[in-house]
Amino acid sequence: MTSLIEPTQLKNSLGDDGILFVRNDSIFDTMVKIPLLVASMIIVAALLPVQSSFSSPRDLDLIIYPDGTTHVTSEIDIDPFLTDYELNLFGKIIDNLVVIGDDEFLLDADIIDDSALIQTFGSSVITIEYDIHDLVSKQGKLWTFSLESPSDFKLLLPQNSAIVGMTNLPINMEIINDQNQLTLSSGKTEIDYFFSTNTITNPITEPKVETNYFSYVIIGGIIIIVLIGITIILRNQQKNQKPIDQVKTIQKNEILEIETIFKIKPDLREDDKELVKFIFNNGGEVLESDLRKKFLQPRTTMWRAVKRLEREGVITIEKKDLQNLVKLRKNMENES
């Protein structure tokens, strides 16, 4: 017995000229669905990098320096299968950018406008540090800090600063080394504060001279005393003057010998050893800018090397006249 199968989606019609027309309804459904599917895939693909760039950090700490520069430290969880990770920064004027991945491995990063493109090398957690000049402004004597943060963060204000206005109340406030540290919630935050660097000096009162006669006597006596003092000082300098090399030797004795440093830290890189030798021969301290001039390195490369030596416990970094002062540590033997 032969069964007849009649297609349900085919509709036949015979035209006036005897031509048979066949129409398939599924073709029209497919023509409508395919563009919608392609558009959805494009939208999802476009949103994926944006979501990764706005991921919330695990920790976010900010330190405001007296000159208004802000140091940012952030620890972020990322997908270890990503080869590159794009991170939005808090501004465009960036200095001293350092990115550290798993096992304290330094990662390469390129700054593009207000974002950083980081080569992850399979890291699941990255720590990023940089100095930024966009967050603090000054009008007269009033300083204003402004930030829109994707997460809660800690903010350390400079010493001798007094808060006079805030857009939202802090979650917590504490004093650390005579500095206010605030824990603030995510979102837009503005803080107005005054910062004072004035020092109190005692006025020097000058004796009043009643007659010209006494004034001449006093002036003459002062001149004689000054001449005698200068003579004594010159003689003492001639007796006690030490050679420059001897003075440098005394300064070096205050820090560890170079062989001792390399013995305590045998795994230092060769280029890091050259930096340590230069700092040691310079009396144990040197400005970071002088290191860049000496070794002809760009700012970012030298800053990474300096931070690497700081993590090794070989040096310390201090702020001096708005510059980074690199100093050899004196207590490495106690920590080894």
Whether 166 shows a pLDDT value over 70: the answer reads: yes
User: Which of 5-19, 71-85, 102-116, 211-225 is the least confident region?
Assistant: 5-19
Share of the chain above pLDDT 90, in %: 32
61: Cβ contacts below 8 Å, ≥ 6 apart: 72, 73, 74, 153, 154, 156
78 burial level (CB within 10 Å; 0-12, 13-18, 19+): middle
pLDDT on residue 240: 62
**pLDDT, greater one: 321 or 119:** 119
Domains and their CATH numbers in the chain: 59-195 (2.60.40.1730), 247-335 (1.10.10.10)
Q: Which of 64-73, 154-163, 213-222 has the lowest mean pLDDT?
A: 213-222
SS3 of the chain: helix, strand, coil, percent, to 5: 35, 35, 30
The pLDDT assigned to 153 comes to 92
- Cβ–Cβ under 8 Å, residues 271 and 263: no
Q: Which helix (H) or strand (E) holds 324?
A: strand 323-328
Per-residue pLDDT for 157 more than 60? yes
Give SS3 for 202.
coil
The Cα–Cα gap between 256 and 239 comes to 30
Average the pLDDT over 236-245 and give the result. 62
Question: What is the pLDDT at residue 219?
Answer: 87
* DSSP category for residue 61: E
Residue 279 confidence (pLDDT): 93
Please tell me the predicted confidence (pLDDT) of residue 178: 81
Statement: residue 114 has pLDDT above 50: yes
Q: Tell me: the pLDDT tens digits for 18-75?
A: 554 445 455 545 554 555 554 545 443 444 443 344 355 788 999 999 988 999 999 9
- pLDDT(322) > 50: yes
Residue 97 and residue 106 in contact, taking contact as beta carbons nearer than 8 Å: no
The sheet that has 323-328: what strands, in order across it? 285-287, 323-328, 315-320
pLDDT top residue among 46 and 278 = 278
Kindly indicate the confidence band of residue 209, based on its pLDDT and cuts at 50, 70 and 90: very low
Question: pTM here?
Answer: 0.50
Helix (H) or strand (E) holding 11: strand 10-14
